[in-house]
Amino acid sequence: MAQPLSPAEIHELGRSLEGAEVARIMSIACFSLAVYEYMITLDEEMKYFWTGKWTISRVLFLTNRYLSIIIMMITIVCFSIPDPSPNHFNSSSAIQAEFLLNLVAISVIQGILVARIWYLFQGSRRVQIGVIVGFVVSLVLSLVFLYLSAHTIRVLKFADLVQNLPGLRNEGCKASRPPNFWRIYVPSLVLHTILYILTAVRALRNRRLLKNAPVLKRLLRDGGFFYFVVFVSVNLTAIGSLLKNHPKVNIPAIYSHFLLTTTSIAVSRVMLSIQSLAHKLGSDSAWLLNNVELSRVGGWRRGAHEGELIVERVTAYADDDTESDAHSSISKGSQIIWLKETRVGVYNERHLMDLFMTYFQPSTLLLLSLDFDRTLDY
Report CA Rg, the chain.
29
What pLDDT, on the 0 to 100 scale, is given for residue 369?
43
Spatial contact of 268 and 37, defined as CB atoms under 8 Å apart? yes
Contact 114, 130 (CB under 8 A): no
Residue 131 CB contacts under 8 Å (≥ 6 apart), including other chains: 114, 117, 118, 121, 194, 195, 198
Same domain, 260 and 350: no
- CATH number reported for the structural domain that contains residue 232 in this entry: 1.20.1070
Same domain, 274 and 320: no
**What gap in Å lies between CA 97 and CA 103, rounded to an integer?**
10
The answer to whether residue 259 sits within a structural domain is yes
User: What is the dihedral sign for C-alpha 223, 226, 231, 232?
Assistant: positive
Report pTM: 0.70
| DSSP string for residues in 346-362 | -B-HHHHHHHHHHHS-H
Amino acid 318 reads A
Output phi, psi for 123, to 5 deg.
-95, 0
d(C-alpha 101, C-alpha 117), whole Å: 24
Angle between helix 258-280 and 56-80 (nearest 10): 150
* Number of structural domains the chain divides into: 2
pLDDT for position 150: 83
Q: How far apart are CA 333 and CA 347, in angstroms?
A: 23
Q: Are residues 155 and 277 in the same domain?
A: yes
215 and 82 share a domain?
Answer: yes
Residue 300 covered by a domain: no
Q: Is residue 306 part of a domain?
A: no
Q: Of 245, 260, 292, which marks where a domain is finished?
A: 292
Residues 319, 282: one domain? no
The answer on 231 and 139 residing in a single domain is yes
* Confidence at residue 92, expressed as pLDDT on a 0 to 100 scale: 73
Instruction: Tell me if 2 is assigned to some domain.
Output: no
Q: Are residues 34 and 66 in the same domain?
A: yes
Give the pLDDT confidence score for residue 26 in this predicted structure: 93
pLDDT of residue 163: 62
Q: Which residues contact 304 (CB under 8 A, 6 or more apart)?
A: 348, 351
Q: Please report whether residue 318 resides in a domain.
A: yes
The CA distance from 340 to 353, in Å, is 12
Sign for the pseudo-dihedral over CA of 176, 177, 179, 183:
positive
Q: What region does 327 belong to: left with phi over 0, alpha with psi -120 to 50, or beta? A: alpha
In a domain, 60, yes or no: yes
The distance of Cα 181 from the centroid of its chain, to the nearest Å, equals 25
Q: Which of 265, 278, 272, 263 lies closest to 110 in space, CA to CA?
A: 263
CB-CB contact of 141 with 96 (8 Å): no
8 A C-beta contact, residue 76 and residue 31: yes
Containing structural domain, residue 323: 312-377
The residue among 240, 261, 292 that closes a domain is 292
Statement to judge: residues 214 and 175 lie in one domain: yes
* DSSP bridge pairs for 342: 310
**Chosen domain end from 292, 325, 357:** 292
DSSP string over 197-258: HHHHHHHTTTGGGGGG-HHHHHHHHHHHHHHHHHHHHHHHHHHHHH-TT-HHHHHHHHHS-H
Residue 59 lies in a domain: yes
Looking at the structure, do residues 132 and 275 belong to the same domain, yes or no? yes
pLDDT at residue 37, rounded to an integer? 95
Query: Quick check: is 301 in a domain?
Result: no
Give the sign of the dihedral formed by CA 107, CA 57, CA 34, CA 220: positive
> In this structure, are 239 and 321 located in the same domain?
no
Average pLDDT along the chain, 378 residues, taken 10 residues at a time? 65 78 91 95 91 87 94 86 62 82 93 88 88 95 91 70 64 77 90 90 69 70 88 90 88 90 94 82 55 45 52 44 40 42 44 46 42 41
Same domain, 27 and 111: yes
Are both 325 and 279 inside the same structural domain? no
